[in-house]
Amino acid sequence: MAVGLLVNIDVDDLDRATAFYCDAFGLDIGRRFGGEVIELIGASSPIYLLSKPAGSAATSTTGQTRDYDRHWTPVHLDIVVPDIEAAVARAETAGARIESPVKTSSWGRLAMISDPFGHGLCLIEFIGRGYDEIAD
């Protein structure tokens, strides 16, 4: 059985988030769900922007609340691009914060950014055989 992947991103401003992700990464609006969710298409998996106000409960068990300042989580998105310099410039123009300039490794080129909602993202341009360059 194949497993599907849907990406959900909490944001506190649906219009601003839609503009950012469409402008930065060339995504398009797919469907809208009751003014609280927007589906973006054009990536390898659909991305759903979920309207969640800052300060609202993140879970029902931990007492954590949503905070859209820059934050860290062990789960993040890697966005594979054909031209990393162009992708970095486009993301920055759309409102991303550049956190690490482009670095080159044997497998590809990587830049770390964050979106306007504090979510960390990596931009990757594969070179050569990509990750196969370092696979055992």
What are the tens digits of pLDDT across the range 3-56? 999 999 999 999 999 999 999 999 999 999 999 999 999 999 999 999 999 999
Give the helix, strand, coil percentages of the chain, each rounded to 5: 20, 35, 45
Mean pLDDT over 75-96 rounds to 97
The answer, yes or no, to whether residue 135 has pLDDT greater than 90, is yes
Instruction: Give pTM, 2 decimals.
Output: 0.92
| DSSP assigned state of 90 | H
Q: What is the CATH number of domain 7-55+68-133?
A: 3.10.180.10
DSSP 46-109: -EEEEE--TTSBS-SSS--B---SS---S--EEEE-S-HHHHHHHHHHHTPEEEEEEEE-SSEE
